[in-house]
Structure 1
Amino acid sequence: MSNVVVKRFSHTDLDGVGSALLVAEVLQHLPESEFQEATFLPVTYCEPGNDGTIDPNVLQFLAANEEPVTHIFITDICPSEEVIAKLAAYCDERKIQWTIFDHHISSVGMNALFPGHSKITVADERTGLKHSATSVVMKELVGSMPTELFDDAYWGKLAHVADIIRCYDCWDWQSNPDAAYKEAAKDFNNLFYFFNFEKRCELMQQVMEQGLSYLDQYADIITAMGEKEAEYITKKLKHARFGSLDDYRFAYVHGEQYQSSLGNAMAQLIDPETEKVVDFSLVIVGRGVSLRAVKDDVDLSVIAKRFFNGGGHQKASGGIFFKQELYIHDQETGLESRLLVIE
């Protein structure tokens, strides 16, 4: 019986669930790995809406954990510097090994603060491809990007799974003409969100174990969902409105489904006031907000951090409204204001 006990934390989206489960699959398949008979505790999945971070989840673990944990992995989401420092102290005292695998530019600064533990990479230097958490896991644990392992007899199956998730999460399926997966990546994400969360995790586990061919049985559902998505986005675009934030113009709408696809479609709308493409889009879900942009001179990771207590990538980020729906807090000026008034 192995004495290795692993605790994982991750985001709730396709890349979050995928990277958390991929960590276990890769570690268990590494030659002569100490993890082959390890105990993997249930993953704590975190939706960054409570205070905008996963901090409460990590702090709760530090305060209440009674399991003999030997390793901690955090994927696709990063705690605050203060909480990472507490995690580091906790692990040092108990001789627990810990690692963060992430790809969000807003978290890159943690690499310098916690070297050896923080593995946060936005893009791969060798291939030039954008990273997702799944590809960071493959690169750090196996040594290669998923695309470099497609034909590998040992890692090929997992590599294809890791990259289809990367193609969706980084939006390569739409923006990179050379992406290995295009519509199939979007279809996987849509199918993932078709189910409740427990079923999503089960689906991802089966795909990890059996490969992408496992999804073939859902072909009819995927086709129907594609038609439903197109109809939904077309309807929502008709209700788009426009506003200003700092020196930016944006389009916004409330959207409970297909936030990424809807946001990208809205980010290409023409602003009737400026007669130019908007700087970015907002899809609002309660207090949560999803930001998307197509312009190269707009950095949503900065906007999300400054106004929405969030973060992410240059062209895709997320966050929450301050105190109540539609209010923001400007971290640079300290001012609170209502961003939008919905009539």
Structure 2
Amino acid sequence: MYKLLTHTDLDGVSCAVLAKLAWGENVDVTFCHNPADVTQYLLKKYNEKVWLEYGMIYVTDLSFDADILIDCKIYKDILRLFDHHGTAVEPFRPYFKWATVEVEKDGRLTCGTELFYQYLLKKGLVGNRDFFVEQVRLFDTWDWYKGRSNLPKYLSNIVLKLGLQYFLRTFTERLRSRDVNELNVFNQYERDILLYDEDREKKDVGSFLKQTYICDVESEDICPDETQFKVGIVFNSSFYSSVLGNDMCRDLGVDIAFMVNLNRGRVEVRTAREDIDIGSLMQTFYAGGGHRKAAGGVLDITEYVIKKCLGRIGSVKKIEQVK
């Protein structure tokens, strides 16, 4: 039995599709929101001795705290990592015998799905699925934005609208015997969803652009040669954070775009500048990580908001969420 820990986006679930194609029902998939989730899982299962159930544990499209390997030495024999985020390169440099961490491959940006696919392909566990894998890569690296086809973005929208389990189940079956192409990648039901969603996206993004706050920020931590920045921040729960962030940078002229989801305690950040490393900022200040131009982190301000709200009428002694 194999275990796969993977991310909750198109790149992550596509790794799960490949794992199902390779091992069928002999692989158990768990979706993780961030590296902290993976770290917590590995520590918990180590203490419970559950790792003994698996011949190999694969982590794709996100990493974990490499320091746990110091205490949990057994994992070095059954762990394989496939990640493409720049923030994971240095922590896993000592473990490159089993940790594949590459930001670029063959002169272009890569993704977790492509790295995992090439591993499975080399072992003869999957057949040619080049077209599908390339669409995932195009979306996750944002290279699709430079081209003429929206197909990569539509794949991501199917994940957002119909869910991880739908995508995993449907595309595992669709890719079981052969690769997909532009004509058969979606069925009629999915095309109808995408058509409706395209109009919804334009309205959502346009609305949130009008709700953006533009802030002048002074900082010595963002860029080595500059201290004054224009930052856009919007409070949103939209599915379209990637599109929204890029439009904020392009249309509002901000150096950095912050999209805060208060319900999830998450922040997504984008930049169009080459000299700003968003991934490093998220790793240092927001317990997150990612790429130079696109990253995310944790921003749980629930307790602060509660105290700020109720503090006007009294002193908050205890905060407890309904189970």
Classify the TM-score, shorter chain: 0.7 to 0.9
The one-letter code sitting in structure 2 at the alignment partner of 1:298 is I
Report the CA distance between 1:324 and its aligned residue: 4.7
Match of 1:44 among 24, 27, 30: 30
Report the CA distance between 1:326 and its aligned residue: 8.4
Match of 1:118 among 80, 99, 124: 99
Partner of 1:173: 144
Match of 1:55 among 27, 39, 59: 39
The one-letter code sitting in structure 1 at the alignment partner of 2:245 is G
3-state DSSP class of the match of 2:81?
A: strand
Partner of 1:282: 258
* Distance in 2, Cα, partners of 1:115 & 1:265: 37
Q: Let me know the Cα RMSD of the aligned residues.
A: 2.6
Partner of 2:310: none
Do the aligned residues in 1 keep the contact of 2:69 with 2:75 (CA within 8 Å)?
Answer: no
1:23 aligns to 2:8 (yes or no)? no
3-state DSSP class of the match of 2:186?
A: helix
The one-letter code sitting in structure 2 at the alignment partner of 1:241 is Y
Report the CA distance between 1:97 and its aligned residue: 2.8
Match of 1:90 among 58, 70, 74: 74
**Identical columns (%):** 22
* Distance in 2, Cα, partners of 1:307 & 1:207: 41
1:10 aligns to 2:43 (yes or no)? no
* Distance in 2, Cα, partners of 1:39 & 1:197: 17
Do the aligned residues in 1 keep the contact of 2:66 with 2:92 (CA within 8 Å)?
Answer: no
* Distance in 1, Cα, partners of 2:5 & 2:256: 30
Flag the 1:310–1:206 CA change in 2: closer, same or farther, 3 A: same
Flag the 1:165–1:86 CA change in 2: closer, same or farther, 3 A: farther
* Distance in 2, Cα, partners of 1:86 & 1:12: 27
3-state DSSP class of the match of 1:226?
A: helix
Flag the 1:260–1:326 CA change in 2: closer, same or farther, 3 A: farther
* Distance in 2, Cα, partners of 1:325 & 1:264: 30
Give deviations 1:225-269, integer Å, cap 9, x for gaps.
111101110111111112226233211111212111111111224
Bigger Cα displacement from structure 2, 5-14 vs 57-66 = 57-66
Partner of 2:222: none
Match of 1:232 among 176, 188, 204: 204
3-state DSSP class of the match of 1:294?
A: coil
* Distance in 1, Cα, partners of 2:41 & 2:149: 34
Structure 2 residues not aligned, in runs of 5+: 220-226, 306-323
Flag the 1:206–1:192 CA change in 2: closer, same or farther, 3 A: farther
Report the CA distance between 1:82 and its aligned residue: 1.5
Give deviations 1:274-313, integer Å, cap 9, x for gaps.
xxx2111011112200011111111111111122111100
Partner of 2:167: 200
Partner of 2:241: 259
Do the aligned residues in 2 keep the contact of 1:290 with 1:319 (CA within 8 Å)?
Answer: yes
Do the aligned residues in 2 keep the contact of 1:239 with 1:253 (CA within 8 Å)?
Answer: yes
Give deviations 1:51-73, integer Å, cap 9, x for gaps.
x5521122122223165311111
In the superposition, the TM-score normalised over structure 2's length comes to: 0.80
* Distance in 1, Cα, partners of 2:171 & 2:14: 6
Match of 2:90 among 105, 109, 114: 109
The one-letter code sitting in structure 1 at the alignment partner of 2:133 is A
In the superposition, the TM-score normalised over structure 1's length comes to: 0.76
Matches within 5 A, 1:66-85: 68-85=53-70
Report the CA distance between 1:83 and its aligned residue: 2.3
Report the CA distance between 1:120 and its aligned residue: 0.5
Structure 1 residues not aligned, in runs of 5+: 29-34, 145-153, 271-276, 328-343
* Distance in 2, Cα, partners of 1:73 & 1:129: 24
Partner of 2:157: 190
Do the aligned residues in 2 keep the contact of 1:167 with 1:182 (CA within 8 Å)?
Answer: no
3-state DSSP class of the match of 2:108?
A: coil
The one-letter code sitting in structure 2 at the alignment partner of 1:252 is I
Do the aligned residues in 1 keep the contact of 2:19 with 2:27 (CA within 8 Å)?
Answer: no
